[in-house]
Chains A and B, each alone.
Chain A
Amino acid sequence: MNVPSDADSAHELLIRDLAADLKPVRRLRPPSVRTFSWLLIVAATAVILAIIADLSALGHRLAAARDLWLAVTGSALTAILAAFAAFQLSLPDARRAWALLPLPATLLWIIASGFGCLGVWFVPGTHAADLSEARDCLMFIIGLSVPLSALLVIMLRRGCPLQPGLTAATAGLAAAAAAATLLNFFHPFDAAATDLAVHVFAVSLVIAANRALSGRLLATNFHAAT
């Protein structure tokens, strides 16, 4: 006859404890649906910003600078794919490779913005951002990333991420890319090297802050609940 070891007794005790107050749970909705919910909030923000923005100036810019289309497409796609990847990573059985999903869109965003910078050197009469305008860009991206990140983290906490740092960093990329896309409503100048550097700095800052702060929050959420 097998005598149960201390460990077996501990497992049995834990299993009974976990099953004792078992309540029905509401299944988590698929990552695609949760991504769509977050994007709806971003779209609502875009509508509000479009009301107060100078849309004709934006139209002129888009017509004059073809590479801007590519940069906007790249940043918007980065936001969508990074949000989807973050919701995937919030599942406990997610593969780390999901974090690579927004990479092609991010490359498109960076390369298209880089080509925009070349225009400043080769096309006469282009208006590049000065230091105070670059500072405004930085403040806009960070300022808008904070509520978008907070919303995303609240939604991610419904999941159970076993890689909280990576999940939070991907969420940070989604929020920063969304903020950078919405910045185009108020960006009355062509991309320049300083402007691109400011954007890269702002996005990196948001990702790092998310990884440090939200990552801890997601990990705390998991440990507190266990």
Chain B
Amino acid sequence: MAAAQAGDSAAYQTLLRDCIPVIKSVARRRRVDADRIDDVVQDVLLTIHRARHTYDPSRSFTAWLCVIADRRAIDLLRRSRRVDMREVHAPLAFESHADDEAADPSRGLAHADATGTVARALASLPARQREAVQHFVLEERSLADTSALTRRTKGSLKVNLHRALKALRSKMEFRE
């Protein structure tokens, strides 16, 4: 890590690769779901990058890494719990409740019109905001995946998504 602090890119890559099994082991110990462990890995790698200037080389790097991984795992568990409290997974209820409006023949036209309006509003957004909506909302990618795919920070993706949704909302209200 001391070499990485001095700007040694090769040493930094080796270090980050070596961190991955340690992070996964900490996340497993915290009972993070298997399909979310890679989100913790991405979060911790980004945290290490952001916090690398705070590391004191006279202290154990593994201990430093384990505390950060543990904290990020707890953060992810809290976020997941909050989402679970808001959302209900009920596939049977979803299938057994018919959509009454589907029988309405004019619905197809209205739907097509609405889709066109959304598409036009989306096309008018700046490229970065459009990209955020595309990956998060339309393709339902995770924040970590989108960050890796677009090579942009999670923070900037969140900001762009927030601005995009705000802009879309105001465009749609204006058209209504």
Q: Once the chains bind, are A18 and B49 in contact (CB under 8 Å)? A: yes
A positions within 8 Å CB-CB of B = 7, 10-20, 22-28, 30, 91-93, 95, 159-160, 162-163, 222-226
Q: Once the chains bind, are A24 and B6 in contact (CB under 8 Å)? A: yes
Number of A-B residue pairs, CB cutoff 8 Å, is 104
Q: Once the chains bind, are A25 and B72 in contact (CB under 8 Å)? A: no
Measured in the bound complex, the distance between the Cα atoms of B71 and A214 in whole Å is 20
> Is residue B53 contacting chain A, with contact meaning CB distance below 8 A?
yes
Chain B residues with CB below 8 A from A18, complex form:
12, 16, 45-46, 49
> Is residue B114 contacting chain A, with contact meaning CB distance below 8 A?
no
Asked whether A15 and B45 contact (CB < 8 A) given A162-B72, A225-B155, the answer is yes
> Is residue B52 contacting chain A, with contact meaning CB distance below 8 A?
yes
Chain B residues with CB below 8 A from A20, complex form:
9
Contact sample, A vs B, 15 pairs, CB 8 Å cutoff: A7-B38, A7-B41, A13-B148, A14-B42, A18-B46, A19-B16, A22-B7, A22-B9, A27-B53, A91-B54, A92-B51, A92-B64, A92-B68, A223-B155, A223-B158
Q: Which of B1-45 contact A (CB under 8 A)?
A: 4-10, 12-13, 16-17, 20, 38, 41-42, 45
B positions within 8 Å CB-CB of A = 4-10, 12-13, 16-17, 20, 38, 41-42, 45-47, 49-56, 63-64, 67-68, 71-72, 75, 144-145, 147-149, 151, 153-156, 158-159
Chain A residues with CB below 8 A from B147, complex form:
14
Measured in the bound complex, the distance between the Cα atoms of B6 and A160 in whole Å is 19
Q: Once the chains bind, are B41 and A11 in contact (CB under 8 Å)? A: yes
Measured in the bound complex, the distance between the Cα atoms of B61 and A93 in whole Å is 11
Most buried by B among A12, A20, A92, A222: A92
Q: Once the chains bind, are A223 and B154 in contact (CB under 8 Å)? A: yes
Measured in the bound complex, the distance between the Cα atoms of B64 and A11 in whole Å is 20
Asked whether A162 and B47 contact (CB < 8 A) given A93-B67, A226-B154, the answer is yes
Q: Once the chains bind, are B54 and A92 in contact (CB under 8 Å)? A: yes
Extra pairs beyond A10-B42, A226-B154 (17, CB < 8 Å) = A10-B38, A11-B20, A11-B45, A12-B17, A14-B46, A17-B151, A19-B13, A22-B4, A27-B5, A27-B56, A92-B54, A92-B71, A93-B63, A162-B47, A162-B71, A224-B156, A226-B153
